[in-house]
């Protein structure tokens, strides 16, 4: 029997855990979203990131077909999630290093853009929000990110050269930001006084804009529970000023 990489997105039993979690949070009146894999990030585990970068240059047609199939799976998965009552579909697809895009903007436009656009349009067609996680420096494709029609982008990583000035000058009318508390330069790394100053600085820049305050990625082991509690107590206080 031939094996397939893709699971069956229409298998009802696969959603039981999600249904339980959604019921728990919806009873509490919470906005709920689910993360789904994008394209480049998804196949890094299959090929290895160096190999996939090589394949993008050598075999673009084959990757276009692979990503098309991933988009087909994602549309079906997103549809099932929206049927359950999710408010937003969050696509995770890292495209940036700490200094630049991992591939050329032309390759991104040819190989990735059409497939993620298909997913975003489908989600919006179902009356649901659609967001993107792509950390690192993606400044060379921010015009394309705006063109995708996404509602929310995470994290807009300032520590990777993604200036908030760029967002405020060009993209604040296109999509909202989720982020602002950097796990690479601030949280768990600065002392309390410096951490407070950093959080207040970001609030000074983004308060009143289309912004949801959050960490730029998963909280890392170098951050203590006490530092995390301090940061969020401050965030709650500043958000209510």
What pLDDT is stored for residue 2 in this prediction? 45
The pair of three-digit structure tokens given for residue 130, joined into one six-digit string:
């659609």
Give the dihedral sign, CA 10/16/17/19. positive
Give 187-210 pLDDT, tens digit per residue: 999 999 999 999 999 999 999 999
65: how many CB neighbours lie within 10 A of its CB?
11
Q: What is the mean pLDDT of the chain?
A: 95
* Side-by-side strand order, sheet with 211-215: 33-37, 88-92, 129-133, 152-154, 176-181, 211-215
Q: Is the pLDDT of residue 116 over 50?
A: yes
Q: Where in the chain is the domain with CATH 3.20.20.210?
A: 25-154
The matching CATH number, chosen from 3.30.56.10, 1.10.230.10, 3.20.20.210, 3.30.565.10, for 25-154 is: 3.20.20.210
Give burial (CB, 10 Å; 0-12/13-18/19+) of 219. middle
Query: Is residue 7 very low, low, confident or very high in pLDDT (cuts 50, 70, 90)?
Result: confident
Average pLDDT of the segment spanning 25-40 = 96
């Amino acid at each position: 029997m031939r094996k397939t990489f893709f699971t069956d997105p229409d298998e009802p039993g696969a959603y039981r855990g999600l249904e339980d979690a959604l019921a728990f949070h919806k009873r509490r009146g919470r906005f709920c979203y689910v993360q789904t894999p994008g394209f480049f990030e998804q196949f890094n585990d299959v090929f290895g990131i160096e190999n996939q970068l090589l394949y993008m240059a050598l075999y673009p047609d084959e990757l276009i077909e692979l990503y098309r199939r991933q988009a087909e799976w994602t549309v079906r998965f997103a549809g099932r999630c929206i049927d359950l009552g999710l408010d937003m579909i969050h696509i995770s697809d890292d495209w940036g290093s700490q200094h630049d895009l991992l591939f050329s903007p032309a390759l991104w436009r040819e190989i990735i853009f059409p497939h993620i656009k298909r997913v975003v349009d489908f989600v919006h067609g179902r009356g649901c929000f659609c967001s993107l996680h792509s950390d690192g420096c993606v400044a060379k494709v921010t015009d394309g990110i705006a063109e995708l029609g996404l509602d929310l982008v995470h994290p807009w990583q300032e520590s990777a050269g993604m200036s908030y000035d760029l967002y405020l000058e060009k993209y604040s009318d296109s999509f909202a930001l989720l982020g602002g508390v950097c796990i690479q330069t601030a949280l768990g790394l600065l002392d309390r006084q410096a951490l407070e100053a950093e959080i207040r600085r970001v609030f000074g820049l983004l308060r009143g804009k289309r912004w949801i305050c959050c960490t730029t990625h998963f909280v890392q082991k170098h951050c203590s529970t006490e530092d995390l509690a301090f940061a969020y107590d401050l965030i709650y206080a500043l958000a209510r000023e």
